[in-house]
Chain A
Amino acid sequence: MGQGKSQFTEEELQDYEDLTYFTKKEVLFAHQKFKALAPEKVGHNKNAKLPMAKILQYPELRVNPFRDRICKVFSSSNDGDCTFEDFLDMMSVFSEMAPKAVKAEHAFRIFDFDGDDMIGVSDLREVIERLCGPDLKLSDSEIQQLVQNVLEEADLDDDGALSFAEFEHIIDKSSDFCNSFRIRL
């Protein structure tokens, strides 16, 4: 952690501590992890912008079916490239301390592939396909059935898509979500 300390001033650390769900030590630890993705680049500039491909080398992200969405949601330039601060934001949301509402907010954006602020049928299909992975394919009718079931359960106002309020409602009732939507630093 000695090298990490030299890269941040006390004020910056205080800022990070106030603005994320991490303590100062955890921020430094996160920076170490970030640095490990591209040692030279980050060594020069602690807040270097790493391309999405580099960020995706983070172990948990590498195998995550929603990896590109996660990067895009947290990227401040919206193209998937992340600076350290974006990375810190990401980890903060995924940390254990982050409340359900914050997680739900970001999960909604991750699952909203087309960005229309609704999780529609096409988004749900995409989510399901990604969940099953590249090798396994559900038949079209099965996906159809599943989407139908999900909408039946959650689409309260019957408009064929999940709005954020509806999504939050599901998340509120799902005790598993908080457990699974988490990446330990």
Chain B
Amino acid sequence: MSGGNSKGKARSKRHEGWEEAGGEFYQELYPGAEQDLFEHLQRADAAKLATLLPSKQARNTTTVKRARSQNDRRQSTYARTTQSRDIHLSMMPDLSENLSNEERTWEEIMLIKAMPVPMNQKRELKEKLQNATKLRLQGLEHIHWQQRKVWHRFRIRFGEILGKLEMWQSPLREIEGTFGTGVVSFFLFLRWLLFLNLVISLFVIIFLILPKTVLVETSYDCEDYESNSTVCCSYSYLSRNLTESNLALDVIQGTGWMERTILFYGVYSDQIYTYFIKSFWETQFYYNMPLAYILVPITWALLSLIAIVKAAAKGFKEKLVESEGQFYLYCNLVFGGWDFCIQNEKSAKIKHRALFNEIKGCLEEERFKEEKQLRTRESQILLHMRRLLINSIVFIILVASGVMIYISYNYSLVRLSAQTGVDNADPGDLNKGYVNRTSERLAFSHFKMHRNTQGLGSRDSSFFEQLENTLLEFLPYICIVMLNLIVPEVFNYLIGFENYAPARVIIVTLLRTVLLRLSSLAVLLSQIYVFIASNKRTCSWGDEEANGIECWETYLGQQLYKLILTDFALQFVITFVINLPRAFVARHSSSRCLKIIGEQDFYLPKHVLDIIYIQTIIWMGSFFCPFLPIIGTLYYFLIFYIKKFTCLINCTPSPVVYKASKSKSLFMSVLLLGFVVSIAPVAYSVAELLPSIKCGPFRGYSTVWNYVIETFDRFPYILRESVFLLGTSVFAVPAFAVLLLFLYYYWAVAAANRHMVAVLKNQLVLEGHDKQFLLNRLSAFIRQHQKRCERRNRASFADDDSSIRQSSR
């Protein structure tokens, strides 16, 4: 500073000149602010000077300009830095730029709404714009403009209609009002799944169910064929007379008459429907049922995948933009923390508390991190030991639950067969045991039918037996669902000992619970698979009892159908029979103990898992039970109300802050995991397993995929060759190389951009410092200048005095 001072003294003359010129310069630039400027200049306060900088001064008014060029960000920043000479012009429409035409005027009117000015000013602006002389558009341009206007209006109307059609608007608003945006994002996710299932259902209905019900199969007579041909086999399966059994039980088990409805894989035809319609130009119409049956699942699988990836990608993009390593954690917390949609006093209080906790948690986490670095070796080892121990406990629990499902599945099989009273199972040979058990089971069902037909006398006892059977049939599913209910609570309790950071806790619990749910499904599936595989699916006309499960695809479909019904029943029971009284108790008792039992908060990850689990089952079962997506749609529709009830009536808002954006990408990732896990077994069964001979569209083929290949072989030569070419290395290697190149290119661009961002950020900081420095300098300089002026004044006074004195002399 001192150097500057001395220099300043040395070149005072020139500085003075600059000062004056500067004054003019300012005057020119800030016609409105000159008064202010000089006032501040007089006071020479750096902070005050800062408020006079063009970037600050022009903010209010440049936004007007900015609004106009909203689509163009570069332009907007330009507008921000333009000097305020434009201010007064920019407040008004740009009349200087010749005459604007009608289209531009209209565009500008549309942009007024973005301006941060009161309504009356907006209206004035609009009027001015409308009254300003403008060029009339002619010819093509006019038509183009009219089109745009109509399109705009149409979009508004369409949006309005769409808004009306939007499902569950008022319940969502209500939930949002009490629980905030995080929980609403869960319900939006539920709605998204509902629509996904609706679309899948539409596919299934149009391409599978309608043709099946409308078109007529040609029936072949078994007599004309060999006794082990597919025709005879399916005849033996489909035409076996059903004896009447309990209707309700059949409905919930999917057995009996239900088995042979369009609900399950078994009844779909293996024929190509051929129609010869005379009135339609005498052409023949085909509907290839087996092809449709394989194409529809492929379609919905792709559709689901695309939908998930699209939604997830959006989430990831947001996450990437947001992240830069949790860069804006605190800003998000402070500026995006409050949900402006909260309208309920109690929830507001809870929200305050939640935010308070979150802030504390964040600060603590930071301290936690520091602490972690300071942690002594012993305590670190101890912590790791503890985590290891708990992880192994979790592992044991997972294995135990798998074993439990295994046992319950086998137990139910054994008991079901034991009831027939015919016990010829060989305990030594497991495989043989399976065969025997199933045969017993079948025998038993016949026995049951027999009993049923015996007359009303034995009706009562048979009813109880049936009930017991039903229970046994459902035992594995009840077991799975109960495990899903109890084990997560145990996990929740265990994680308390592990000392994870709060954000990590949710992810770890979620991961463990997902593992539990999917592994239990996997155990069940593998059991069913073993069961199916151990049955020889031979077919011979006449001996019905001798062979195992007649149509294993239908059997699998039935299992998943039962699982989804059990799940729904449990959701229902838990919400209305268990949690409702709990909430009631919590609300109406003052005792602390009862309150602890009764109070429930809406723990989001659990509910998310609930609905993702359902979706997993639907994906898994839709190939075997085409009706499942339709059931799923219905299920989601009902579960929305159940969850809403849970949310609004049973629960109090959770003391944890759920961020909408974070939870959405989390949902999608978990859903993607569920998708992979559920599609894998289906793909395996399509590609590898022998389809049942007796039923379904693929009877007689070695695998389902074989059918696809055979159909493909019938395609024209060129098409086949071109598809084959895609698979050869001639195509694959260059394609791979090109992809790699692209990847590298984008990676390089991203790296360069990242570097640029870092450089610019540094530069910005430097600029900021420079600005501060210059402002300080300027104020110091002005102060100095003022002092000099005073001195000069004094000197001139003195001169005056002396001259006066002289003259007086």
Total interface residues on A, CB under 8 Å, equals 71
In the complex with contacts A99-B114, A132-B352, A135-B352, A19-B123 CB distance below 8 A: yes
Complex Cα distance, B656 from A87, in Å, reads 33
CA of A43 to CA of B768, assembled, Å = 54
For window 142-161 of A, CB contacts with B under 8 Å fall at: 142, 145-146, 149-150, 153-154, 156-159
B644 CB-CB contact with A under 8 Å: no
A176 with B126: CB separation less than 8 A: no
Point out the residues of chain A lying under 8 angstroms from B363, CB to CB. Answer: 142, 145-146
- Complex formed: what's the CA distance from A138 to B362 in Å? 13
Given A15-B126, A163-B55, A184-B176, the answer on whether A174 and B322 have CB atoms closer than 8 Å is yes
Give A142 to B116 CA distance when docked, in angstroms: 35
Answer whether A156 and B764 are a contact pair too, CB < 8 Å, given A136-B356, A184-B341.
yes
Among the stretches B220-228, B253-261, B343-351, the one at the interface with A is B343-351
* Chain A residues near B334 (CB-CB < 8 A): 124, 127-128, 131, 146, 150
Identify B352's interface contact among A21, A136, A158, CB under 8 A: A136
Cα–Cα, bound, A165→B176 (Å): 31
Q: Which residues of A contact B114 (CB under 8 A)?
A: 99, 101-102
A89 touches B330 (CB 8 A): no
Instruction: Say which one of B105-113, B198-206, B375-383 lies at the interface with A.
Output: B105-113
How far, in angstroms, from A132 to B798 measured CA to CA in the complex? 64
Considering only residues 288-341 of chain B, those with a C-beta below 8 Å from chain A are 318-319, 321-322, 327-332, 334-341
In the complex, chain B residues whose CB is within 8 Å of the CB of A117: 51, 56, 59-60
- Which segment, of A2-10, A33-41, A55-63, faces chain B? A55-63
Contact B352 A131 (CB under 8 A): yes
Q: Do A165 and B340 have beta carbons less than 8 Å apart?
A: no
A18-B126, A25-B160, A138-B359 are contacts. A150–B768 as well, Cβ < 8 Å?
Answer: no
Nearest A residue to B350 via CB reads A133
Q: In the bound complex, what is the Cα–Cα distance between A185 and B780 (angstroms)?
A: 54
B166-190 near A? 1/0 per residue, CB < 8 Å: 0000000100110011000100000
Report the minimum CB–CB distance from A31 to chain B (whole Å): 13
Residue of chain B at shortest CB distance from A145: B363
Verify A107–B331 contact, CB threshold 8 A. no
Shortest distance from the beta carbon of A115 to any chain B beta carbon, whole Å: 11
Closest CB-CB distance, A146 to chain B, in whole Å? 6
B160 touches A159 (CB 8 A): no
Q: Is the CB of B344 within 8 A of A138?
A: no
Which residues of chain A from 74 to 133 have any CB-CB distance to chain B below 8 Å in the complex?
76, 83, 85-86, 88-89, 92, 94, 99, 101-102, 105-107, 109, 111, 116-118, 124, 127-128, 131-133
The reply to whether A157 and B110 contact each other, CB–CB distance below 8 Å, is no
Contact of B344 among A21, A63, A164 (CB under 8 A): A63
A23 to chain B, nearest CB (A): 5
Q: How far is A177 from B660 in the complex, measured between Cα atoms in Å?
A: 10
B767 contacts chain A at the CB level, 8 A cutoff: yes
Give the residue of B80, B116, B348 whose beta carbon is less than 8 angstroms from that of A63. Answer: B348
Partner of B768, one of A92, A128, A157: A157
Q: Is the pair B768, A154 in contact by a Cβ cutoff of 8 Å?
A: no
Residue B101 interfacial (CB < 8 Å): no
B631 within 8 A of A: no
- Contact, CB under 8 Å: A180 / B340: yes
Q: Which residues of A contact B353 (CB under 8 A)?
A: 133, 136
Residues of B45-66 whose CB lies within 8 A of A: 50-51, 55-56, 59-60, 63, 66
Q: 4 closest A-B pairs (Cβ-Cβ)?
A: A157-B768, A133-B352, A85-B119, A63-B348
Could you list 14 examples of A-B contacts with CB < 8 Å?
A15-B123, A59-B344, A60-B341, A127-B334, A132-B356, A132-B359, A133-B355, A150-B330, A153-B328, A153-B331, A163-B56, A176-B332, A179-B660, A180-B339
